[in-house]
Structure formats: C-alpha cells, structure tokens
Amino acid sequence: MHHGRRLVGRRAELARLLEGARPASVRTVPVVVGPSGIGKTSLARAAAEALHREGYMAYHFLIGRRVETLGDLYSMLVSSAGVLYTSLMHEALGATAARVFKALLGDGWEEQLPTAAAQLRRDIYDVLAEFFLELARDAKKRGKKGVVVFIDEAQNLLRGLGADEIWGFVKTLASLQEELPSGEAAGFQAVLVTSEYRFQQKLMRYSPSPDYVDTFYLGEMTRSDALRLYRHFRGREPGGDEETVVEHGVGGHPSLLKEVAKKWGLSYVCRYIRRIQQMVTEYMLGLAEEGSEGGIDRNEDLNNMLERLIGGPVMRTAMHAGMLAGLVERGILQYGCRAYLGIYGWNRDCSEDLEELECGGGGWCGGLDVVAPVNRAARIGIALAVGRAGEVPEPIRRLCRL
C-alpha cells in the first residue's frame, strides 16, 4: 500500500464500518456522514482495502463532480477507482463497464459516449444497477466472496434529482443487496459516503420506511489517535506546546491537524479561529439586516442558541433548525451523533475491556441526533463571535493573545 495512504488510528471505527459493509443479503443501505476533512474517504478506502484482502471485490468510487451524462458516468466508473487497485480489479471494472455500455448503446458505444449526454437523468440508477449486477457476476466467476461498492460523495451522483428518483436509486441498491447472491452472481453491498448533510437528510426525509437507510457517523478522533496522527504528519514527537494546542484547539480533526503539522504551525489555529469568528459574525449581521424587527428577534434567538452550543451539543429539534442550517451549510456547525461526537470532551479510547462499549470516534448510530460545532477551533470561534472570550481554553488564549 502507498505509504501516504496509511490509515492512522481509527481501529474501532474501521472494524465497525467493516461489520456493516460485508454483504449479508439485507436491504439496509448504510450512509457514512461526518464533517468535511474528518476522514470519511480515508476510512472508506481503508475498508475497501481490508475487504479486498478478505476476498471480496471491493471498489471505492469517488464521485468528484456532478455526474450529468452517460460519458460522465462511464469515466467515473472506470477511472475514479483506479488509484489503489490491483490490475485484476482494474481489468474487471473496465470489462464490466464495456459490457454494460455496449448493451446500452450498441456497437460503436465508445464513440457515442461523449454525445450520449441527454440520455442520463432518471435512468441513472438503471444503468448503475446493471453495472453492479455485472460486477457481482464477475465476482462470482472469479470465486470472490462478494462485491462491495463505496460510493463516495454520493450526492454528486444524484444532484438535481427529485425525491422519487433518489428513492428509486436507494431501492435499487437495496434490492440488489437483498436478492444477491443468486445462482449466477455473488453477494452485493453498497455503502454511500457523503459530506453533504442535506443529502443524508433527504434520504431520511423521503424514506418510505426506516428499513432502508442506516447512518454511520464519523466524528472527532480519540485523543491518542489525534496525537498519533499529528506525530505522523509532523514526522516527530510533538513538543509540550504542540500537544497542549492540539488538545485544546485542534482536537481530532484530521485535515486541521494536517494543516498545523505540515504547513502552518501552531499559530494557524488562531487564524482558523478568527475565520470562524468572522463568518459567524457575518452570518448574524446578515440575519439582522434581512428583516427589521423580526431580524433582531431572530438574532437574539441565534445568539442564545450559539451560547448554548459553546457549552455542549444541542438536541436537533425542528424549532431552531432553520436558524442553524446556514451555519451547518457553511461548515461551522455539524449534525452528529452524541455517542461519538468528541469536541467537548475526548471520545474514549478503546481498550480490550471497553470493546463493546462506547469508544472510538465513530460508528453506527441510526440517525443524527445533535447539533454541535464542527471541531474545537470552531467552538472557540463561535465563543468569540458571541462575546464569550471567557470560554476560550487558557492555552489558546495565551497562544492567540485573546
């Protein structure tokens, strides 16, 4: 495996994800959600590799941009998984895609692909279903245990589609899962991954029953994983100051740890906090300017809500949803699962005797139940925006001269 791709820590999270990712002829389609940069793609890739070693054909499709045409779909299927895969999988993928697209477009399908634009809209899931079924047949021929497909940034596949079509897609995946293995095809399991809450929300909102979608929330790493990852990025042991700043200001957010360790150094945390502070301030100013009296009321409500959010996660209720949604969209707040949230206090490290208890920074949790800042630095930025500098941890106050 490529060294830069090594998964650091996240052992409990990986084991849990794998439990739900092995084909078992059940209809539930798992959705992995969590803040941007928290490590969803890294975890999905590691899971695909682990399944590959266990004898499955496991594919990780990263839908980097909106899929609008058959040509887009084809190149997404054959190229996005190319990076870490064995030549065997590359070949299986290419041959399967060729078979499906030839059946769809006839001879000369390759020349037609760029112009087959308008064909793709509502039938995207029919094409995918055919493709996945072919992959399952291919896996069976190769004597593999089954097929697992991780569809990363899945919202890009279904952008612009309505509720019915999104449901068509999920049901299609669910029936492949339920009906396979059959005589000619191996078992099948899909795992959706998304950084867009609105997508996960849509799935839950339009779900015809609770049977179809399950949520795997990935949140902050545990303390020891965070320090291990920081050490990995930094290439040496963290000094006392570094450890303190990671502990209080950064937490277990991989992409933020990476910026601090590899590029900007400790003072970057202060800049990041200021960025959040201004974004929150602008958001509140925007609300205030929107309407006259109503604006002021709403601003007070928002202020109170943000003050509550500094102290701990807030249960998601319909009451304040509209007010906070804008900050979730801006990546300052997140929806999460309380059991694996971190941020206000470290998630517990898993040790042997804790295995089945709450530990680690992510897992299956059904649905998202709370609202919280995306990470520790965001919590501090919010505190500054509502004038609560007293809430800033002492080491960060010193470092950032607050």
Ligand X SMILES: Nc1ncnc2c1ncn2[C@@H]1O[C@H](COP(=O)(O)OP(=O)(O)O)[C@@H](O)[C@H]1O
CA angle 395, 396, 400 (to 5 degrees): 125
Which stretches of the chain bind ligand X, using CB under 6 A? Answer: 7-10, 34, 36-42, 195, 229, 254-255, 258
Nearer to Mg ion, 60 or 379 (CB): 60
C-alpha–C-alpha distance, residues 46 and 36, integer Å: 17
> Out of 28, 41, 112, 281, which residue is the one contacting Mg ion (CB under 5 A)?
41
Least Å from the CB of residue 6 to ligand X: 6
Residues in CB range of 281: below 8 A, 6 or more apart: 385
DSSP 326-340: HHHHTTSEEEE-GGG
Least Å from the CB of residue 34 to ligand X: 6
Residue 75 sits in the site that holds Mg ion (CB under 5 A): no
- Say which entry of Mg ion, ligand X, none residue 255 contacts (CB below 5 to 8 A, set by partner kind): ligand X
Q: Closest Cα partner for 309 from 217, 379, 215, 385?
A: 379
Nearer to ligand X, 152 or 247 (CB): 152
Nearer to ligand X, 195 or 299 (CB): 195
What are the phi and psi torsion angles at 152 (to 5°)?
-90, 135
Q: Closest Cα partner for 207 from 150, 175, 169?
A: 169
Binding residues with Mg ion: total (CB under 5 A)? 2
Least Å from the CB of residue 228 to ligand X: 9
Cis peptide before 210 (omega within 30 of 0): no
Instruction: Name the one range near Mg ion by CB under 5 A: 39-47, 157-165, 182-190, 361-369.
Output: 39-47
Nearer to ligand X, 69 or 334 (CB): 334
Nearer to Mg ion, 41 or 119 (CB): 41
Tokens 């925007």 sit at which residue? 286
Least Å from the CB of residue 16 to Mg ion: 18
Tokens 């002021």 sit at which residue? 296
Answer yes or no: are the C-beta atoms of 14 and 46 closer than 8 Å: yes
Least Å from the CB of residue 63 to ligand X: 12
Tokens of 37: 């940069």
Least Å from the CB of residue 40 to Mg ion: 5
Residues in CB range of 15: below 8 A, 6 or more apart: none
Amino acid letter for position 110: E
Nearer to ligand X, 35 or 146 (CB): 35
- Say which entry of Mg ion, ligand X, none residue 10 contacts (CB below 5 to 8 A, set by partner kind): ligand X
- Say which entry of ligand X, Mg ion, none residue 313 contacts (CB below 5 to 8 A, set by partner kind): none
CA angle 124, 181, 129 (to 5 degrees): 5
- Say which entry of Mg ion, ligand X, none residue 229 contacts (CB below 5 to 8 A, set by partner kind): ligand X
Least Å from the CB of residue 232 to ligand X: 6
Answer yes or no: are the C-beta atoms of 71 and 117 closer than 8 Å: yes
- Say which entry of Mg ion, ligand X, none residue 8 contacts (CB below 5 to 8 A, set by partner kind): ligand X
Rg (CA), the chain: 23
Least Å from the CB of residue 332 to Mg ion: 18
Reduce the DSSP state of residue 217 to 3 states and report it: strand
- Say which entry of Mg ion, ligand X, none residue 28 contacts (CB below 5 to 8 A, set by partner kind): none
Nearer to ligand X, 23 or 30 (CB): 30
Give strand pairing partners of 373.
333
Nearer to ligand X, 116 or 221 (CB): 221
Q: Which residue is nearest to Mg ion (CB)?
A: 41
Answer yes or no: are the C-beta atoms of 40 and 253 closer than 8 Å: no
Which spans of this chain sit near Mg ion (rule: CB under 5 A)?
Answer: 40-41
